[in-house]
Structures are given as C-alpha cells and as structure tokens.
Structure 1
Amino acid sequence: MRVLIIDDERLARDELRRLLLEHPQVEIVGEAASVQEGLQQIARLSPELIFLDVQMPDGSGFDLLTALEQPPPAVIFTTAYDRYAIRAFDVSALDYLLKPVDPPRLAQALQKRLPAPVAAAAEPPPPPDGKVFIKDGERCWFVALDDIVLFESEGNYTRVYFDHHRPLLLRSLSQMEARLDAAKFMRVSRSQIVNLACVTGIAPAPAGGMALTLQGDLRVGMSRRRAILFKQLNRL
C-alpha cells in the first residue's frame, strides 16, 4: 500500500516513518511539510493512503482535502488535538490518531485499509464494530450494517437506505464495497449494493435478469449475469 506522510513537523514525520517500518505491506512513497506541498505530492505520487496532520503553517488538513481536484485517497489524521475528531469523520477519515502515535492504534488503523491475509481474502472484514458513521447536514448516525438495506451510488457519494432515512455518505460505492462482507452484501448493479438479508421478493425480469424487492418496498434490478451469481450465492 502506497503511503504519503503530510506533517509540518520533521520529528513527527520521522517517528511515523519509523513506526510504519514495522508494517511490510506499507510503502512510504513520500513526505510533505505543508498543504501546498501535500497537494503537489498527491497529484504526483497518487498514494493510496495519506497520514495527514491537522494544523500546518499554510492551512489545515481539511483545507488540503477541500482543495484536491481528484477523489481523495484514504486518510488517517494524526494530530495532538482531539477536538477535530468529529470533523475528521465528517470527511470520512479512515481513522484519527493522537500524537504521540501509539503503535497498537496505528496497527489497528492500518488494518482498515490493508488487504486481508491470503487465507481470509474471500471474507473481507466489516467496518469496526459492524457499524458505519454517517453525517448528512446537521444529523449524524452510527448505523449497524445489518440495518442497512441498500447502498446506492451518487457520483463520489453513496446514498444509504435504513429505516426511513436516506442520508448521503461521503464515500464512493467502491470504497464501501471493499469494507463489506461479501457473504451478506452483493453488488447487484454498477450503482447498487443490497443487503441480502433484506430481500423480501424475487421476480424474473427481461433478458434473463431479476427484480428484487427489499424491505421498505424498495425495488432494484439485476442483469442476467448478476442474476446468475445471485442464484448461486443463494442456492436458488
């Protein structure tokens, strides 16, 4: 996994680099000491993950994310202050680490992004505690994955369906898919992932496809290819 460290403190960068050496799956591709340098390095190096300080001389880590002209890589904030934690998760940060960074917490944060061992590759781990944090406007939720009926892509965002709520999550559908249990959730189209436990009805559709009815009277369609996979998974 390609990692970029963005922090204006050289000692903090050095310490984080030292800690990351304990994780052979991590490749540190560069460092940056300011917002502007960080933007340049992201554009040049295309990291998969950035460790991002909050306060820097020419702006904040949040300013950097706002200024990006491309979808941001995964982000782990590193800061000496805990007061930015809620704002960090507002921008869908992978994790939020307080300085000095604790090695076990660093390892825990990395596990959210590192691929599973080969023996477990067929069953990706769910988000921590089986829940996802969502903030839409002034409202916030910690939602159990089992309660989510449908994920639906809206550009770089994902609409999440649970109970009577339909908030937007600042994360792409592909990012969410990588964190879901494939035994419980299935991508039925380019723009939709369904909770298989929430399927209440199945009907044939044209060209060999299928139409699913979900809890809350939601309806989604599947192509013939995906319908075949659905039948295999559910032994239909």
Structure 2
Amino acid sequence: MNCLIVDDNLIARTVLKQMVSMDPDLDLIGECENAVEAYRMVLANPIDVLFLDVEMPGMSGIELVQSLEGRRPMIIFTTGTTDYAAVAFDLNVVDFLIKPIVPARFLQAIEKARELYRNKNITVGNKEDEFIFIRDSSIVRRLKVSDILYLEAKGDYVKINVPNQVYNIHSSLKSVEQKLSPNVFLRVHRSFIVNVSKIDTVEGGTLIINNMMVPVSDAFRAALNKRMQIL
C-alpha cells in the first residue's frame, strides 16, 4: 500500500516514518508538512493510505479530506486530542490515532486499512454479464465467473484457479466469498471455495475438479451434499 505522511511537526513525521518501516506492506511515497502540498501529492500519485494530522496551519486535515472527494485515499487521522473523533466518524476514516502514537496501536490501524485494501482487489460485475474484475499484481483482469474452478486461501493471498491458469490476489478468502454468488460457489473447506458446477467426482473427503483434488472438511460436507442433490 502506497502511503503519505502529512504533519506540520517534523518529530511527528519522523516517528510515523519509523512505524511505517515496520510493515513490509507499506511503501512510503513521501511526506508533507502542510495540507496544500499533500493535496497536490495525492492528485499526482497513487496514494492508498494517508496518515493525516488534523490541526495544521492554513488548510486543516479535515478540510483536506473534504476537498479530495472522489480521489480520497484511506485516511488515518493522527492528532493530539480526541476533540475531532466525532468529525472523523462522520468522514468515515479508517482510524483515529492519538499522539503519542504507540506501535501496537499503529499496527492495529494498519490492519484495518489492509483489510479494506484487500476488498478493493476483487469487483463483481453485473449478474447479466457474470464476470468479475480482479487485480493481479499491477494488472486488472476480467474473468468470467463460469471459468472459475475453485479458490484457495494461501496466507494473505487467494489463488483463483481457472483452466490452465492460476491468478493470485491479495485478499482474504472471506472477503472474496462475500462478493461471489452463493448460487454458484460453495465453501467446502476452511481454505477452499468451489464452483459447484465444475465438480467432476466426489470420493470420501476429496473433490475432483478438472483433474485437481480439493479437500472437503466434515463441517461443510452436509451443505455440499444438499447442494449437489445427489440421487
């Protein structure tokens, strides 16, 4: 996630830079000492997370957020007072950190941003077209839902298996599942979701899909049997 630090205090910016360096998912694009400079940076660069001080000379952090509108990245407010908590809630920011910021609280805010970022990596098309868009590295791809064989969770990634190809997206399996049609896909294991129409055979605790084996856990077996309407 590309991030930008905005704070008129040099020490505060230095502390945040040290914390940003703790997380390998964060790529610091730059730092700004005022909101006007930050506004130009956001318009000129792909910023995902904005660490934004609220009280700054000239344009405040709140005014910056309001001015960004459709170009707004995820916002994490950093401030020395709780006075702006209600405003932050109204602006739907990711988190609200009180200075002095401790590492544990910083990482907690980043985890919230990370989950939101993962959710951006898969977008559902309309029901008539039956397709989804996925972000595969730096490329956005259009996939037909009917081509998807199964999905597998691997750490912080989900592997989308289609015939003769596997795509990796940075997301959680739960997030992807929420965006797929339950009429087409079914979770059969903690780490696997399958396209039911692609199942070739079932033997014991294993599905065969396109000559590939997919495990079925006991917790999902009853739902699978019901869905397959076995004669």
If the length of structure 1 is used for normalisation, what is the TM-score? 0.54
The 5 A counterparts of 1:61-76 are 61-76=61-76
Of 161, 169, 185, the residue aligned with 2:178 is: 185
CA contact (8 A) 2:157 2:172 kept: no
> Displacement, 1:112?
1.4
> Displacement, 1:118?
4.3
Alignment correspondent of 1:229? 185
Q: Which amino acid letter does the alignment assign opposite residue 71 of structure 1?
A: R
d(CA) in 1 for partners of 2:33 and 2:73?
Answer: 18
Alignment correspondent of 1:119? 155
> Displacement, 1:54?
0.4
Q: Which amino acid letter does the alignment assign opposite residue 81 of structure 1?
A: T
Matched residue count: 145
> Displacement, 1:59?
2.0
Q: Runs of 4 or more off by more than 6 Å in structure 1?
A: none
Give aligned-pair identity as a percent.
30
Are residues 185 and 36 of structure 1, via their aligned partners in 2, closer, same or farther at CA, if it must alter by over 3 Å?
A: same
Structure 2, unaligned stretches of length 5 or more? Answer: 119-152, 159-170, 187-194, 198-222
Are residues 179 and 70 of structure 1, via their aligned partners in 2, closer, same or farther at CA, if it must alter by over 3 Å?
A: farther
Q: Which amino acid letter does the alignment assign opposite residue 73 of structure 2?
A: P
Q: Which amino acid letter does the alignment assign opposite residue 78 of structure 2?
A: T
d(CA) in 2 for partners of 1:50 and 1:57?
Answer: 18
d(CA) in 1 for partners of 2:67 and 2:172?
Answer: 26
Q: Which amino acid letter does the alignment assign opposite residue 16 of structure 2?
A: L
CA contact (8 A) 2:3 2:51 kept: yes
Alignment correspondent of 1:41? 41
Alignment correspondent of 1:208? none
The 5 A counterparts of 1:156-195 are 181-182=174-175, 185-188=178-181
d(CA) in 2 for partners of 1:10 and 1:229?
Answer: 51
Alignment correspondent of 1:13? 13
Are residues 228 and 3 of structure 1, via their aligned partners in 2, closer, same or farther at CA, if it must alter by over 3 Å?
A: same
Are residues 179 and 83 of structure 1, via their aligned partners in 2, closer, same or farther at CA, if it must alter by over 3 Å?
A: farther
> Displacement, 1:56?
0.8
d(CA) in 2 for partners of 1:74 and 1:229?
Answer: 30
Are residues 228 and 179 of structure 1, via their aligned partners in 2, closer, same or farther at CA, if it must alter by over 3 Å?
A: closer
Deviations 1:166-192 (A, max 9, x none): xxxxxxxxxxxx78934863345xxxx
Q: Which amino acid letter does the alignment assign opposite residue 121 of structure 1?
A: Y
Deviations 1:210-229 (A, max 9, x none): xxxxxxxxxxxxxxxxx433
Structure 1, unaligned stretches of length 5 or more? Answer: 123-177, 189-195, 197-226
